[in-house]
Structure 1
Amino acid sequence: MPINNARRPAPSLISSVTDAVADEVKAWQARPLE
């Protein structure tokens, strides 16, 4: 899949998505093992 640099998302969007994912990852890592 070619990268289309003309439609690159805004850095603020990337930052907010990264922050949201980081919170999910932390919650997943902290989950109790069954």
Structure 2
Amino acid sequence: AQSVRIYNQERPHTALQYKTPDAVHRAFLQQ
């Protein structure tokens, strides 16, 4: 349940901050 909550809360923010799916993926891997 927590992973679903994190996914739902974090994904919109990354979508607003980054332009391409590749950038989002690379930013996620760097965390």
**What TM-score comes out, normalization by structure 2 length?**
0.43
**What TM-score comes out, normalization by structure 1 length?**
0.41
The structure having more radius of gyration, on CA atoms, is 1
Structure with greater contact order relative to length (CA < 8 Å, sep ≥ 6): 2
